[in-house]
Chain A
């Protein structure tokens, strides 16, 4: 009985196809670079098809070509979905940029309504300065807390730090509120012309 004759037609293309197919399948499952799998995946499909055609014509084994074709089609499908995801996100971002005028108008209307509610002589600069000062004081207090923390037990330290952070935050907010009241009082005391 003669042994089965199998030529090596299509094997080289099949090897290239399966290597590229496996690489693109692995890359397709990595979110950051999934879309990159499209190029090697498409190449893998091409090489797989060539492998199958060569094997069919030259009485070679088609198994390798078929396996690489399945793997590369799966990889290309995943990469194509990544492309759709990125395209959709890019289109959304572009639409948001086109509508950026809406955000500007919204901001302007918000500011006007806010100032009207606060009072006609609303002094935003004074309030801004007062908030900045309050934040600087809060930063200094938090730095002091960091230094103190090292000398206290871990449990007591955490509780103490939380309590002091709360106190510092309350002080900062109180200062900011005092600043707002002072600014409003100052503008109220200016006589009308």
Chain B
């Protein structure tokens, strides 16, 4: 009986680490994409602008990320004023994944409270960093639905 409980706890810990590793790999992939592509040769097209003619707050985000990873923060801010903020989300998430994985490794008995703290931190960070995009999206949707 005790063996099953320990196995269950280990698998929870394993599951948590797997989720963190997945996100770490994804964030590293985003940074590598930004390093590989630059300027106008990004493969992701600005579909929204092409179809509607409007310029959303996410236009030029890929280009902005490319400048940030190269250290050109002024150019990045000029291309997309929200680029730095959104990039900060991914950078902080990378640190948080490592931090919380280490915390769970050191204190596996507190995995639940650490997972809750992790979720709250990530949600707050997401809402703050993506605020311009979230508000634009919700305003657009409410104008369509309303």
Please report the C-alpha to C-alpha distance between residue A141 and residue B118 in the assembled complex, in whole angstroms: 62
The interface-forming segment of A30-38, A104-112, A124-132, A180-188 is A30-38
Q: Are B19 and A18 in contact (CB under 8 A)?
A: yes
B19 engages A19 (CB within 8 Å):
yes
User: Can you list 30 contacts pairing A with B, beta carbon distance less than 8 Å?
Assistant: A5-B1, A6-B8, A8-B8, A11-B12, A14-B15, A19-B19, A19-B22, A19-B23, A23-B26, A26-B130, A28-B137, A29-B134, A31-B48, A31-B56, A31-B136, A32-B44, A32-B45, A32-B46, A32-B48, A33-B58, A34-B137, A35-B47, A61-B12, A81-B141, A81-B145, A85-B52, A85-B140, A86-B47, A86-B48, A93-B51
CA distance A86 to B144 in the complex (A): 12
- In the complex, chain A residues whose CB is within 8 Å of the CB of B133: 29-31
| Interface presence of B18 (CB below 8 A) | yes
CA distance A64 to B14 in the complex (A): 13
Residues of A within 8 A of B18 (CB): 15
Chain B: interface residue count, which band?
35 or more
Q: Within the complex, what minimum Cβ distance (angstroms) separates B79 from chain A?
A: 14
At the interface, yes or no: B7 with Cβ under 8 Å from chain A? yes
**Residue from the list A7, A26, A86, A89 in contact with B8, Cβ < 8 A:** A7
Residue B103 at the chain A interface, CB threshold 8 Å: no
Dominant secondary structure of chain B at its interface with chain A: helix
Chain A residues near B136 (CB-CB < 8 A): 31
B7 CB contacts on chain A under 8 angstroms? 8
Q: Which residues of A contact B4 (CB under 8 A)?
A: 3, 5-7
Q: Does A84 lie within 8 Å of B11, measured CB to CB?
A: no
Docked Cα-Cα span, A93 to B52, in Å, equals 9
Fill in one digit per residue for A148-191: 1 if any B CB lies within 8 Å of its CB, else 0.
00000000000000000000000000000000000000000000
Interface residues of B (CB under 8 A from A): 1-2, 4-5, 7-8, 11-12, 15, 18-19, 22-23, 26, 44-49, 51-52, 56-59, 61, 126, 130, 133-134, 136-137, 140-141, 144-145
> In the complex, A67→B65 CA distance in Å?
31
Q: Is A4 an interface residue (CB 8 A)?
A: yes
A14-B61 Cα distance, complex, nearest whole Å: 31
Contacts of A117 in B (CB 8 A): none
Do A29 and B130 have beta carbons less than 8 Å apart?
A: yes
Q: How far is the CA of A141 from the CA of B126 in the complex (A)?
A: 51
Q: Is the contact region of chain A dominated by helix, strand, or loop, or is it mixed?
A: helix
A85-120 vs B, CB cutoff 8 Å, 1 = contact: the mask equals 110111001000000000000000000000000000
Flag if A3 contacts B130 (CB, 8 Å): no
Q: Which residue of A lies closest to B9 (CB)?
A: A6
Provide the residues of chain B in CB contact with A28, threshold 8 Å.
137
A81 (CB) vs chain B CBs: closest residue: B141
Q: Which residues of B contact A22 (CB under 8 A)?
A: 23
Contact B130 A32 (CB under 8 A): no
With A28-B137, A32-B44 given, name 7 new contacts (CB 8 A): A7-B4, A15-B15, A15-B22, A18-B19, A26-B126, A78-B141, A85-B140
